[in-house]
Structure 1
């Protein structure tokens, strides 16, 4: 995958982001819609990324500072910029989705490692996410641990699981390839 790069999300990416998000989540009732997705980006544009593969849109990752053991409600847009008190503590990955044709190549873990590097450089100490659609198996090899005691908003569905990890510089990351289904959630 030599012609693949991760870059910051830009205004012209939104149609592709929204279309991919709808394909990934509409059938399960987890699709948020354009305004909610854009509100996550507005809260922290420096931690939202797009994957380009061979010059085309290949996926996205939205992350924002959020208190550890809490998460955004899928049914609500963010109110604005994230409070300064949250910056530098926990970075929450709100969503990562890879296009159907690129799934199964380990790209979602690669995007997460890119995010972890960004987070470490910015001084974040922990990272969190909510695994949906059975994606816990994708995030566990990256060091995320299930925190089943954490209650989640009903908008995530009954099978969602909160996961968190400490952020530490890693020497190497031998993350195995992932399945095509796994690179959503």
Structure 2
């Protein structure tokens, strides 16, 4: 899954990456803090949905994603303990790219990876919680805004006042 630079590739995350991932999260998403245990748990529960963007041998970004059920997203900085069964969508928990690797198409590559995972698991939707600053990016990627219930709105408030639930349909064949 290589994007534009041969020295910058998405690869599977390992437990050894968690310190760097936490440092990136603390830097890039300073307004949305999460404990290292959150990232470790997601890696344990859904390793195929956890990637690191290796940029010249150093983590330059990460993707945390996993199967999920329904639109009520996990609250910020909350352990899941288990994944819901059966899942009905693939949930993007977090993606972060260091400034040095932005603009290289790496986020789009990660989105395509998640679409592939959703198809592999027979899921028809990607879902995410968009923070206010990221909303325009996700809408440009084909995501649409969901109308949250009161329960969903309460969880969104743990992110920020502009947080929104966004979803994108997945073609089972990979066609647009």
| Normalised-by-shorter TM-score class | 0.7 to 0.9
Note if 1:160 corresponds to 2:163.
yes
1:113 positional shift? 1.2
Partner of 2:90: 91
Note if 1:15 corresponds to 2:19.
yes
Q: CA RMSD of the aligned region, Å?
A: 1.8
1:158 positional shift? 0.8
Q: Is the 8 A contact 1:90 1:126 kept in 2?
A: yes
2: CA distance, partners of 1:133 / 1:21: 17
Moved more, 95-104 or 151-160: 151-160
Partner of 2:101: 102
1:171 positional shift? 4.6
SS in 1 for 2:37: helix
1:90 positional shift? 0.5
1:170 positional shift? 4.2
1:166 positional shift? 1.2
Partner of 1:128: 127
Distance 1:149 1:84, change over 3 A: closer
Partner of 1:177: none
Partner of 1:179: none
Note if 1:77 corresponds to 2:76.
no
TM-score scaled to structure 1, two decimals?
A: 0.82
Unpaired segments of 5 or more residues in structure 1?
Answer: 173-185
Unpaired segments of 5 or more residues in structure 2?
Answer: none
Aligned residue-pair number: 167
SS in 2 for 1:5: strand
1: CA distance, partners of 2:128 / 2:84: 19
SS in 2 for 1:21: helix
Partner of 2:33: 31
